[in-house]
Structure 1
Amino acid sequence: MCFCWFVCVCVCVNMFIQSHYGDDWDIYSFHINSTVSSRYATTVITSRVANRMDESKEIEFQVRIPKNAFISKFRMFIDGQAYDGVVKSKEAAKQQYTDAVSQGQSAGIVSSVGRTLEEFKTSVNVAAHKKVTFELTYEELLKRKLGKYELSLIFVQPIAPNGFLMVFDIYSGLFLSLSRVNKSEFCCYQAWVYFYPTEDQQKTCDRCGEQGMNGDLVIVYDVNRDNSFGDIKKSSGYFVHHFAPSNLARIPKNVAFVIDQSSSMHGRKIQQTRTALIRILNDLAEEDHFGLITFDSSIFHWKRELVQATEENLASAKTFALQIQDRGATDINQAVLEGARMLNANPREGSASILILLTDGDPTSGVTNLEVIQSNVRKAIAGEFPLYCLGFGFDVNFEFLEKMSLQNNGVARRIYEDSDAELQLKGFYEEVATPLLTDVTMVYEGGINLTQTNFSQYYNGSEIVVAGQITDNDIRTFTPQVVFPGTNVTVESADVADSNIQRVWAYLTVKQLLEKELRLSGPEKESAKKEALELSLKYSFVTPLTSMVVTKPPGESSDVLHKPKEGEAPQTPTSNARQYGLMPTVSDILWLSGRVSHLSTGRSGGQSPAPAVKFQSVLGQDT
């Protein structure tokens, strides 16, 4: 069995000016080092700053990180002394948090700043002509979406055009193929990607200035895979199983769309929903069956039963979609139950059913008790198909939608009110548009403390990841199997020396326990919460159950770092934020592509010189 890594040509930098740094201190070195092993990325951001003044100055460290990541370490070095952050339970850190707030300090120093980012910031006083080093570590399991993994490294702000270096180390343990402009080439087991623009290059892009640049560098890659049943790696008593078979035939689907048309959807929301729905209808295959329901305080059917996606039916459905108008209150309970009824009334053997709800508000009509609605929906679906809830905007009760989705084998996704909302809706649909397998069960004889092993559906371009421990670390008794209708296959596994596998297990377990804690109640809820807290503390993860106390020199109050909930709205920008580029728009984004060659410093697409990008194999040769 042979697996090969494939690193895509897309090495891009989103650049927008959001930096600010004073004349009295400067960043003389800024490095980001990210190591990926078993699709698990550990990123270390190191920023070295000097106070050039004749008096002490407060120096701020501010950086944006992916929402799915857990901060696991923060350290400051001042005048030879190290100050380490300490992860504690929220209760243990509560007093320090309360004290900081009462003194008017910024105690909650991690906040949501948009679709995929969280912002971490802290500050410290630095004596005249002294230096401080900030070092932040965060970890995340990269999720495969639409056939690719994306590793985004977030630029710190402020960043001066000086001493800038980013290093990516992607390790597969199997053959790696690098993609050049027009061809792929197998080369090695490991790849290093260096990004080190010169000072001039940091100032000469379209939206750069004397203060330098800011943005994201994104590495996009996938794994070349055959039609096998997964890649299992074992190390030190732990294992991780990546399952994403290729060359499977798509399964016809039955999909019911339940669309909120209440008065709160007025204006651009309803317009974008209509546009997205028409685009989605264009992508339905003829073997698919579908239904449309719109709702306010009442339900409106396009047709009362699912119908085949013929050319005639699609044309009629698009006409119905164009006529959707906002009005009335919001009866979520009645609408979702009707969508479930339509799917239950159309059980086609060999097909996959999907229920998709789009709403922007709380239930205000009919049944309005959230727990009763969740109970009703759970009984109606009865585990037969997943429910995906799309929450439009920040007025929606996202926790309610998230819990209802998790209780029914689905996920909730926030749709952000922006100019590209219809593309967000279409993008989500594409993730579930092509079911390949149903009722997938992963069986691990000789395995314990397993993460989720049952999956209602597997979609093209996604990946199932399971991790666990091997009983008594005895690989002789460890037998992995993949089971789905008509298939029961034993999967081979390989021993590797990879300490990340244990952290993959911890990361996945904590994530799934937090989801379990959300959807359950009573003793089971408390048990899941307790276990998630214990693992968060053991592995020093800053999660919704823990906080990190940021230690500072004597005389300065400690900050308390917490992780915001998904439902927390981004911070409102100041009135001049747009003027200074703090809130980027689509037009603010400049994409620079580094050619995959020895060293690319030539012009890219007629724009300013691209920052230097270097790809290097484990053999030390430029590739």
Structure 2
Amino acid sequence: GVVKPKEQAQQQYTEAVSLGQSAGIVSSVGRTLEEFKTSVTVAAHKKVTFELTYEELLKRRHGKYELQIHARPMQPVKDFKVDVNINEEAGINFIEVKGGLSTKALANAITKTHADKQAWVYFYPTEDQQKTCDSCSDQGMNGDLVIVYDVNRDTSFGDIKKSAGYFVHHFAPSNLPRIPKNVVFVIDQSGSMSGRKIVQTRMALIHILSDLAEDDFFGLISFDSQLFHWKRELVQATGANLESARTFARNIRDRGATNINEAVLEGARMLNAHPREGSASILILLTDGDPTTGVTNLGQIQANVKGAIKGKFPLYCLGFGFDVNFEFLEKMSLQNDGVARRIYEDSDANLQLKGFYEEVATPLLTDVTMIYLGGTNLTQTNFSQYYNGSEIVVAGQITDNNIETFTPQVPFRILQNIIKRKHQHTHHSHTILPRLKHEHNFVTEEALRLSLKYNFVTPLTSMVVTKPLGETTDVLHKPKEGETPPDMSAYDLPTKHHSPPMHSGWGSSGRMFSTAYLRKQDKCAQNRHNAKSVVWSHLFSTFSLFTGPDFGSGNAHFHSLSGGGNCNDCNMIIAFHKNYKFPVCGLH
């Protein structure tokens, strides 16, 4: 496919449809906007084959990498196969298979083999198993297969990969003593938090308080149009103080408007008033809406918060619900060395909250600065804190040509520039794209230039594939974070229930994993008789995962050889496959 400005790609797609050709359009939907919904129009009496390959960054969290394979074909599939092959030159520390499809009923459909530097996982459920497992029905499987693993880490200096004048450095030291922390929780209790939101928030907060260590200091604020302090200053996490704080949390009730500005500034004041040598400070905001009282101008709030924090500690913003102004929270976090996370209004929301806290619960380093002699065009090199189980990743260009000789083995052309693409993608997604709505047109022009140069599908570009007249045209389009995805109600798509990953940073291996969900649109049989185009929809997630200290390989296949029902002329094949190995050597 060719990446073009989205208007040009859309025009090319529209023209193909108007000519009655097979065509498709893809847009990202779902919890992280890293899943893609595809609507495909297939010309009468035609067969189409899809091969979908995507690159996605997988971040190390809680000391492990996690690959989630979603199996929701919405019908039993005669030949359903998932193959995962992991190659790690440093050695695989452990590997586990979890998820809703890792059950007793499907135990003999899963094969796991683990050697020193390689691991294989095969998932081959029969048609009967696809209808009788715990998360299965007559409509087939409806669950996830989760592969969890980590690699051996023998050096505290990390792992460096280099290729074609670019490098990527992965820094994940272990065996460091934890640093005591100072943390303030700022909790929205406005009227919009009513019902399950406030109940789940209370549950999560009570669990989180129980995880504080005795050498931690903490504060707790709830807010609506007013502020409600548990204590006006930070106190030590003694048993008595924790029990008192849990009582405060149990009594949080939804009411009033939303004064985000005053609440966050008060949290910053409490941390600034409690400087402590050898500790790490963290400010965590949980809210579900826009500010509705006090200072309501979003830009002014962001400026006020940045001025209050002054780069001394990170701000983490948790946005509760699909309708939260996530863009506002994300920018405010990024301006203060933190990240924003969506908390989805599902039954597991309290677990999402607790899971996020666990990622930042154990700081090991503060004020980390990565320095590279002979490096240029570096991605982020300053990090306010490094947490246990995470990973710091820096990419850049090499200016010194006297670095030792390096020769990779590249069976596939796409891998020849993978280090370069990792550098450009990190720079693009973390530095340029977040500024699009807030700075001058030259930022948009630079983002578009890089998107086209490196074939990135972004809010400014789409990927279009046009074949000879009468064949298929496919378009890939990704809307901006925060925009409303296209209406999906006509497609009866499956829902997903899992805690969303926070995507940032890179790993150091490359793996291509693929999976697909296929759903035939209703009334398909009508098109068989009147020779009109047949519309198909499927939702898919495919991954090229960069993890661990070495490049590996993996593939997955999902074949659906018939449309099902009465649509005998609507045969369709879904086939995803990719398999490559890219061994590289680090600098010594």
TM-score by length of 1: 0.70
1:530 and 1:114, CA in 2 relative to 1: closer, same or farther beyond 3 A? same
**Cα displacement (A) at 1:383:** 0.5
Q: Do the aligned residues in 2 keep the contact of 1:155 with 1:214 (CA within 8 Å)? A: yes
Q: Does 548-557 or 448-457 show the bigger shift? A: 548-557
1:543 and 1:226, CA in 2 relative to 1: closer, same or farther beyond 3 A? same
User: What residue in structure 2 maps to residue 441 of structure 1?
Assistant: 369
Q: Do the aligned residues in 2 keep the contact of 1:167 with 1:195 (CA within 8 Å)? A: yes
> Of residues 498, 515, 536 in structure 1, which corresponds to 2:451?
536
1:216 and 1:288, CA in 2 relative to 1: closer, same or farther beyond 3 A? same
Q: In structure 2, what is the Cα distance between the partners aligned to 1:211 and 1:186?
A: 33
Q: In structure 2, what is the Cα distance between the partners aligned to 1:539 and 1:575?
A: 35
Q: In structure 2, what is the Cα distance between the partners aligned to 1:516 and 1:342?
A: 29
User: What residue in structure 2 maps to residue 385 of structure 1?
Assistant: 313
* 1:583 pairs with 2:583: no
> Of residues 71, 75, 90 in structure 1, which corresponds to 2:6?
90
1:136 is paired with a residue of what secondary structure?
A: coil
Deviations 1:290-337 (Å, cap 9, x if unpaired)? 111111111111111111111111111111111111111111111111
> Of residues 551, 558, 568 in structure 1, which corresponds to 2:466?
551
Alignment of 1:318-397 (within 5 A): 318-397=246-325
Deviations 1:454-480 (Å, cap 9, x if unpaired)? 11100111111111121154316xxxx
**Cα displacement (A) at 1:262:** 1.1
* 1:152 pairs with 2:68: yes
1:450 is paired with a residue of what secondary structure?
A: coil
Q: In structure 2, what is the Cα distance between the partners aligned to 1:355 and 1:495?
A: 46
Q: In structure 1, what is the Cα distance between the partners aligned to 2:434 and 2:479?
A: 18
1:94 and 1:204, CA in 2 relative to 1: closer, same or farther beyond 3 A? closer
Q: Do the aligned residues in 2 keep the contact of 1:256 with 1:291 (CA within 8 Å)? A: yes
**Cα displacement (A) at 1:542:** 1.3
**Cα displacement (A) at 1:127:** 5.3
> Of residues 425, 440, 449 in structure 2, which corresponds to 1:522?
440
1:400 and 1:272, CA in 2 relative to 1: closer, same or farther beyond 3 A? same
1:378 is paired with a residue of what secondary structure?
A: helix
Alignment of 1:233-272 (within 5 A): 233-272=161-200
Count of residue pairs brought into register by the alignment: 478
Q: Do the aligned residues in 2 keep the contact of 1:233 with 1:496 (CA within 8 Å)? A: no
Q: In structure 1, what is the Cα distance between the partners aligned to 2:216 and 2:93?
A: 36
Q: Do the aligned residues in 2 keep the contact of 1:441 with 1:455 (CA within 8 Å)? A: yes
User: What residue in structure 1 maps to residue 553 of structure 2?
Assistant: none
Where in structure 2 are there 5+ consecutive unaligned residues?
A: 98-111, 411-415, 499-580, 582-588
1:239 and 1:496, CA in 2 relative to 1: closer, same or farther beyond 3 A? farther
* 1:121 pairs with 2:21: no
User: What residue in structure 1 maps to residue 55 of structure 2?
Assistant: 139
Q: Do the aligned residues in 1 keep the contact of 2:479 with 2:485 (CA within 8 Å)? A: no
1:214 and 1:274, CA in 2 relative to 1: closer, same or farther beyond 3 A? closer
User: What residue in structure 2 maps to residue 34 of structure 1?
Assistant: none
Q: Do the aligned residues in 2 keep the contact of 1:258 with 1:358 (CA within 8 Å)? A: yes
**Cα displacement (A) at 1:573:** 6.6
Q: In structure 1, what is the Cα distance between the partners aligned to 2:342 and 2:148?
A: 23
Q: Do the aligned residues in 2 keep the contact of 1:232 with 1:494 (CA within 8 Å)? A: no
Give the letter for the 1:172 counterpart.
E
Q: In structure 1, what is the Cα distance between the partners aligned to 2:196 and 2:23?
A: 35
Q: In structure 1, what is the Cα distance between the partners aligned to 2:485 and 2:186?
A: 27
1:101 and 1:321, CA in 2 relative to 1: closer, same or farther beyond 3 A? farther
Q: In structure 2, what is the Cα distance between the partners aligned to 1:359 and 1:103?
A: 48
> Of residues 557, 561, 576 in structure 1, which corresponds to 2:476?
561
- Larger RCO, structures 1/2 (Cα 8 Å, 6+ apart): 2
Alignment of 1:467-506 (within 5 A): 467-471=395-399, 473-475=401-403, 496-497=408-409, 499=416, 500-506=418-424
Q: Does 172-181 or 531-540 show the bigger shift? A: 172-181
1:109 is paired with a residue of what secondary structure?
A: strand
1:169 and 1:210, CA in 2 relative to 1: closer, same or farther beyond 3 A? same
**Cα displacement (A) at 1:200:** 4.0
User: What residue in structure 1 maps to residue 78 of structure 2?
Assistant: 162
Alignment of 1:419-430 (within 5 A): 419-430=347-358
Q: In structure 2, what is the Cα distance between the partners aligned to 1:559 and 1:284?
A: 51
Give the letter for the 1:273 counterpart.
T
Q: In structure 2, what is the Cα distance between the partners aligned to 1:371 and 1:357?
A: 17
Q: Do the aligned residues in 2 keep the contact of 1:124 with 1:552 (CA within 8 Å)? A: no
1:298 and 1:343, CA in 2 relative to 1: closer, same or farther beyond 3 A? same
1:455 and 1:95, CA in 2 relative to 1: closer, same or farther beyond 3 A? same
Q: In structure 2, what is the Cα distance between the partners aligned to 1:576 and 1:127?
A: 20
Q: In structure 1, what is the Cα distance between the partners aligned to 2:234 and 2:176?
A: 26
Q: Does 564-573 or 115-124 show the bigger shift? A: 564-573
Q: Do the aligned residues in 2 keep the contact of 1:126 with 1:132 (CA within 8 Å)? A: no
1:123 and 1:517, CA in 2 relative to 1: closer, same or farther beyond 3 A? same
Percent of aligned pairs with the same amino acid: 67
**Cα displacement (A) at 1:547:** 0.9
Deviations 1:189-233 (Å, cap 9, x if unpaired)? 444433333444434424435554354332211112246121112
Give the letter for the 2:420 counterpart.
Q
Q: Do the aligned residues in 2 keep the contact of 1:438 with 1:456 (CA within 8 Å)? A: yes
Q: In structure 1, what is the Cα distance between the partners aligned to 2:287 and 2:23?
A: 34
Q: In structure 2, what is the Cα distance between the partners aligned to 1:342 and 1:378?
A: 15
Q: In structure 2, what is the Cα distance between the partners aligned to 1:419 and 1:335?
A: 27
2:422 is paired with a residue of what secondary structure?
A: helix
Q: Do the aligned residues in 2 keep the contact of 1:234 with 1:496 (CA within 8 Å)? A: no
Give the letter for the 1:435 counterpart.
P
Q: Do the aligned residues in 2 keep the contact of 1:255 with 1:291 (CA within 8 Å)? A: yes
Q: Do the aligned residues in 2 keep the contact of 1:227 with 1:246 (CA within 8 Å)? A: no
Where in structure 1 are there 5+ consecutive unaligned residues?
A: 1-84, 477-492, 587-617, 619-623
2:209 is paired with a residue of what secondary structure?
A: helix
1:281 is paired with a residue of what secondary structure?
A: helix
User: What residue in structure 1 maps to residue 238 of structure 2?
Assistant: 310
Q: In structure 2, what is the Cα distance between the partners aligned to 1:151 and 1:258?
A: 32
Give the letter for the 2:31 counterpart.
G
User: What residue in structure 1 maps to residue 425 of structure 2?
Assistant: 507
Give the letter for the 1:111 counterpart.
S
User: What residue in structure 1 maps to residue 225 of structure 2?
Assistant: 297
1:298 and 1:463, CA in 2 relative to 1: closer, same or farther beyond 3 A? same
Q: In structure 1, what is the Cα distance between the partners aligned to 2:200 and 2:91?
A: 44
Q: In structure 1, what is the Cα distance between the partners aligned to 2:92 and 2:17?
A: 50
Give the letter for the 1:420 counterpart.
D
Deviations 1:477-536 (Å, cap 9, x if unpaired)? xxxxxxxxxxxxxxxx9875563323322322222134552586337xx33x43433332
User: What residue in structure 1 maps to residue 502 of structure 2?
Assistant: none
**Cα displacement (A) at 1:126:** 5.0
Q: In structure 2, what is the Cα distance between the partners aligned to 1:180 and 1:407?
A: 37
1:315 and 1:210, CA in 2 relative to 1: closer, same or farther beyond 3 A? closer
Q: In structure 2, what is the Cα distance between the partners aligned to 1:162 and 1:459?
A: 45
Q: Does 162-171 or 387-396 show the bigger shift? A: 162-171
Q: Do the aligned residues in 1 keep the contact of 2:169 with 2:394 (CA within 8 Å)? A: yes
Q: How large is the Cα RMSD of the aligned pairs? A: 3.3
1:401 is paired with a residue of what secondary structure?
A: helix
